[in-house]
Structure 1
Amino acid sequence: MTSPTLLRVGRTWLPEDRAESQIRSIAFDVPGSGAGAIEVEMTYAAEPGAVLDLGLEGPRGYVGWSGGARSRVVVSEGWATPGYVPQPVEPGMWSVLIGLHRVPASGAAMELTVRAAEPSVVEEHRRISPEEPAPASASARPRAGRERGLPSVDGMQWLAGDFHSHTVHSDGSLPVGGLAALAVSRGLDFLAVTDHNTISHHAQLPSVGGRHGITLVPGQEVTRDVGHANVFGDVGLVDFRSPPETWAAQAESRGGLMSINHPLAGDCAWLLPVDRPQVAEVWHSSWAQVPTWGAPLAWWLQTSATTPIGGSDFHTEGSDGLPGSPTTWVLAEGDDILGAVRAGRTAVSAGVDGPLLLRDGDGVVALGAEGLILTGFGQRRCVLREDRVRVRAWDGPCWLEDGTRAVHALSP
């Protein structure tokens, strides 16, 4: 039996189309009593420089987004392609969302088809989705701070984690469980899972984190061509189509927290006004490609009231950094990761086991720091002669660097 075709359209997108609006919506009708499932297929000519993204909206609102990671997706009540929220395919007007990410001068020729799908099609999609791994034993794993001998402070502990990672729910290669297992193997206590323009992964995080013995922080990378921002917390979707200047307020009003991502980064740098953002990804894994690059510190200087965090931006092995490269340390009460960030109790290091710099009252404690240089904006440079040392320090940002001026750790 041939599944009914609900939409078939071909169009060549031109640079003028992208200039007018980056996100386009193509409507289609699900008639009668609805459908058991729908399958969306979008292909385009592989012209140099052409990149089109894919998403979906239904009568209930936003369904999901796969960006440029997939050309075929399926949605049903029982299961949906990662990146999309499972739901009944109700009758009414639906819309395919097309993101004109890059459109060359010659244009991007697109073919789009939407079909009502049989259960066998849903099962086909489910079979090719990566399987969750069986977790290793999560018992008796010490926290990273305790392993490194970091003292508790007023009952709070230093926890090690990463605030930027991706799974198959956007353009990553691992399912949520696979990412959790990798993060645990890297010695992390927590990991924010921040898939692009979707929260379809949020429902899995508590159970998967519990099975693997790691705190998985709900996140979403709100992604536009003018900049990317991570919203942390189980706060519902912050729609990337809404004005970027409202993202932080939306997050805060729902009990979440927003961070500016990789403010200096190729074609995904932050291109919007910056007025002392509360939190920013000062240390992104791309810094490792040019360790002596001073621009991230210069950007931080201009926003020095900003709480710094770090993110690997992990997608797949061999791309970006592995989870914990860099590592963000938070001084947390229990597992209140976001509360620690709100209070500014963070530090960032190149890795879990590398040199570390932590605030301690009117001073800083440096670990693994023998031979490194302690300095800050406009401050003297002090060579440290012990592996673990506490020194008096100034108010404001400081960091550890080596003789080449490559940064190994920083602290607000």
Structure 2
Amino acid sequence: MTTLRGTVAPGSPDYVRLPFEVAHGIRELHVSYTYDRPAVPPGTPGNALDIGLFDERGVELGGRGFRGWSGGARTEFFVRADEATPGYLPGPLHPGTWHIVLSPYTVAPQGLTYEVTVSLTEGESGPAPRPVYPPARAGGRGRAWYRGDCHLHSWHSDGRRTPGEIAALARAAGLDFINSSEHNTTSSHAHWAEVAGEDLLVLLGEEVTTRNGHVLALGTEPGTFVDWRYRARDGRFGHFARRIREAGGLVVPAHPYADCVGCAWKFGFGQADAVEVWNGPYTPDDEVALAAWDARLVASVRENREWLPAMGNSDAHRDPDVIGLPQTVVLADDLSRAAIQEGIRAGRSYLAESRYVSLAFTASCEDGRRAGIGERLAVSDDTSVTVRLEVSGAPRCSVRLVTDQGVLLTGGPLPVSGQGVVEWRTTPAYAAYVRAEVRHETALGPVPGVMAALTNPVFLGVT
């Protein structure tokens, strides 16, 4: 047994590496840790300490030695060849120098004193499991609108639900696809195959949880590990964004304006494929994210450059968090990883609070040309365009049509049936894009009504 002790002062580096030796013939590694929690004045962060493990292959940034991360969700864990605590990767315990990595999330003014105990048990190792991953394609309905939730947490990070429980709740929410997004670990990847099916596509990924914001690695190759141990000032995010794309994933900053420590996004959006503008139950944070996203839309049309699609996900961790609140509804050629990602990347999607809310949103002109969500109706500036929104499942909600000029039409409330149609005529000279919002009557203080659904834009005019 090895005991490692120390004290972290306020303002210390983000990560503390604690080396220890593993000899030949070790069957199990067990780690437990404690740290002090002194009283602090109101408004002052107290102590919070995260933990993870790297093996003899190295602890350097982006290296191959990652064996697991539990953050602050657990006070102990074990690793064997045949099994490991959720959050950690089973596999051989090769001899050499291993490392505990501590991450002081917040440190009290008095400092943070910790004690880590490493216990090594000798014996013959069991066989390492051969991982089985979920298929990259499910049954599907051909080209159709598919509903998904791409930000979910199980007991493999700081969630409380098993993959099986999440899959059951996803099916009950009417979802067609989900994405595994544990904080800084891929340990859940090998535990989704048994709960996926023809009716549920499971994408694999990670929530890369840095000190300057969180980003979803959405739909990467199984087992892809993306390091998180850097800040914006380190200039390393571009490298790891490329790592996500090279592994077939999408780069999606999550809850970019959340006010939790380290949650606000500081890396910019130049590397992003989409952005999460609605995270869980709609709050003022989401309203800020929506406004900032809309401002980037305006800049993209003004500067004639690529635009960034919006996503909505639940970020569900435990009861009473609702899986599928919200959900991203994607127009895709089939229910496959590639098709869903292509639809998200193209912005052919809208966001809805539940399976019961459906939208159809188009722009058309008199000669029959038509464009849908995420598409462009390429007509001259003076062409008359009819924008049409069909809504179902949103009783007594109001409708807003938003352009680069701002909100240009407000209608409603919809009848108690929740169904309605809104039409509006414009020209590309007046509106470079149009997007739709469907909002409840209930407001959040100065914020307009809580969101029930919103679309990505339809663009108008030639580029």
**Displacement of 1:358 after TM fit?**
4.1
Q: Does 1:411 align with 2:455?
A: yes
Root mean square deviation of aligned Cα: 2.7
> Residue 399 of structure 1: which of 425, 430, 437 is its match?
437
Q: Normalised by the size of structure 1, how large is the TM-score? A: 0.82
Aligned residue for 2:192, secondary structure, equals: helix
Q: How does 1:227-238 map to 2 (within 5 A)?
A: 227-235=213-221, 236-238=224-226
> Residue 383 of structure 1: which of 411, 414, 418 is its match?
411
| Kept in 2: contact 1:357–1:411 (CA 8 A) | no
AA matched with 2:391: L
| Kept in 1: contact 2:73–2:157 (CA 8 A) | yes
The residue number in structure 1 matching 2:20 is 28
Distance 1:209 1:358, change over 3 A: farther
Distance 1:371 1:98, change over 3 A: closer
**Residues of 1 paired with 2:325 and 2:360: CA distance?**
16
User: Mean Cα displacement is larger for which, 80-89 or 237-246?
Assistant: 237-246
The residue number in structure 1 matching 2:120 is 116
**Displacement of 1:290 after TM fit?**
4.8
**Displacement of 1:296 after TM fit?**
2.4
Write the deviation string for residues 314-370 of structure 1: whole angstroms up to 9, x where unpaired.
11013xx41110111011121132121122211101222136454574445432256
Write the deviation string for residues 162-189 of structure 1: whole angstroms up to 9, x where unpaired.
1110001100001111111111122211
**Displacement of 1:247 after TM fit?**
2.8
- Write 1 or 2 for the structure with the bigger share of helix: 1
AA matched with 1:323: I
User: Mean Cα displacement is larger for which, 80-89 or 379-388?
Assistant: 379-388
**Residues of 1 paired with 2:105 and 2:177: CA distance?**
32
- Structure 1 gap ranges (5+): 123-141, 144-151
The residue number in structure 1 matching 2:210 is 224
| Kept in 2: contact 1:357–1:399 (CA 8 A) | no
AA matched with 1:87: G
The residue number in structure 1 matching 2:245 is 252
Distance 1:286 1:98, change over 3 A: farther
**Residues of 2 paired with 1:373 and 1:41: CA distance?**
54
User: Mean Cα displacement is larger for which, 401-410 or 340-349?
Assistant: 401-410
Q: How does 1:311-350 map to 2 (within 5 A)?
A: 311-318=313-320, 321-335=321-335, 336-350=339-353
| Kept in 1: contact 2:401–2:434 (CA 8 A) | no
AA matched with 2:184: N
The residue number in structure 2 matching 1:186 is 173
Q: How does 1:44-55 map to 2 (within 5 A)?
A: 44-48=35-39, 49-55=46-52
AA matched with 1:308: A
AA matched with 1:234: T
**Residues of 2 paired with 1:372 and 1:16: CA distance?**
48
Aligned residue for 2:181, secondary structure, equals: strand
**Residues of 2 paired with 1:309 and 1:85: CA distance?**
30
The residue number in structure 2 matching 1:172 is 159
Aligned residue for 1:210, secondary structure, equals: coil
Distance 1:185 1:172, change over 3 A: same
**Displacement of 1:303 after TM fit?**
2.5
Q: Normalised by the size of structure 2, how large is the TM-score? A: 0.74
Aligned residue for 1:397, secondary structure, equals: strand
Aligned residue for 1:70, secondary structure, equals: coil
**Residues of 1 paired with 2:388 and 2:16: CA distance?**
51
Q: Does 1:56 align with 2:80?
A: no
Write the deviation string for residues 41-79 of structure 1: whole angstroms up to 9, x where unpaired.
111113351110010000231111000000111011100
AA matched with 2:274: V
Distance 1:248 1:47, change over 3 A: same
Distance 1:390 1:157, change over 3 A: farther
The residue number in structure 2 matching 1:148 is none
Q: How does 1:2-401 map to 2 (within 5 A)?
A: 5=1, 7-17=2-12, 21-31=13-23, 33-48=24-39, 49-60=46-57, 61-117=65-121, 155-210=142-197, 213-235=199-221, 236-241=224-229, 243-267=236-260, 268-275=263-270, 277-287=272-282, 289-290=283-284, 294-304=287-297, 305-318=307-320, 321-335=321-335, 336-354=339-357, 356=359, 358-359=361-362, 361-362=370-371, 363-368=387-392, 369=394, 372-377=398-403, 378-384=406-412, 387-389=419-421, 391=423, 395-401=433-439
**Residues of 1 paired with 2:94 and 2:202: CA distance?**
32
Aligned residue for 1:117, secondary structure, equals: strand
**Residues of 2 paired with 1:34 and 1:93: CA distance?**
14
**Residues of 1 paired with 2:106 and 2:123: CA distance?**
35
**Residues of 1 paired with 2:33 and 2:226: CA distance?**
25
**Displacement of 1:210 after TM fit?**
2.2
Q: State the structure with more CA Rg.
A: 2
Seq. identity, %: 31
| Kept in 2: contact 1:371–1:383 (CA 8 A) | no
Aligned residue for 2:400, secondary structure, equals: strand
**Residues of 2 paired with 1:52 and 1:224: CA distance?**
14
Aligned residue for 1:294, secondary structure, equals: helix
Aligned residue for 1:299, secondary structure, equals: helix
**Residues of 1 paired with 2:347 and 2:25: CA distance?**
50
| Kept in 1: contact 2:400–2:407 (CA 8 A) | no
